[in-house]
Amino acid sequence: MNESSGSARHTVKPATRFSCEELLSVGYSLPGDLGGPVGVPDCHVNFFDFSVLALGWPDQYDIFALAELAMNWLACIDPLDPTCGGH
C-alpha cells in the first residue's frame, strides 16, 4: 500500500500470448478445425478442414460435422496470427 494515499499499487503485466499448439494442448479448440496444412488442427477453419471432412465422409464425419465447419467457416483463434479477428 502506498502510505501517503492509502491505496494499493498494482503492476500491470503484459498479456501472455499462447501459440495455437498450446491452446490445443489444454483442450481449447475451434469446432470445424479438423486439420491444417500438416494434417493437424491449426486454429483456422478453411479448405484444409473441408478436404479432411471430404476424405472422411461419411465414415468419420457426418452432416453435423459439416454443419460445425459451415458455422465456423473462416474463423480463426490462432493468437499469434495477426490476420485473425480481434487483433
Note the pLDDT tens digit of each residue in 38-56.
Answer: 989 999 999 999 999 999 9
Query: Considering the entire predicted model, what is its pTM?
Result: 0.76
Residues 52, 38: Cα–Cα separation, whole Å: 11
With a cut of 60, say whether residue 7 has pLDDT above it. Answer: no
With a cut of 50, say whether residue 87 has pLDDT above it. Answer: no
- pLDDT over 70 percentage in the chain: 78
What is the rounded average pLDDT for all residues in the chain? 86
65 CB-near residues (< 8 Å, 6+ apart): 32, 34, 53
Give per-residue pLDDT as tens, 20-39: 999 999 999 999 999 999 98
**CB-based burial of residue 52 (10 Å sphere; 0-12 exposed, 13-18 middle, 19+ buried)?**
buried
Residue 12's alpha-carbon distances to 9, 15, 16, 53, in angstroms, are 10, 9, 12, 44
Domain layout of the chain by residue ranges: 31-87
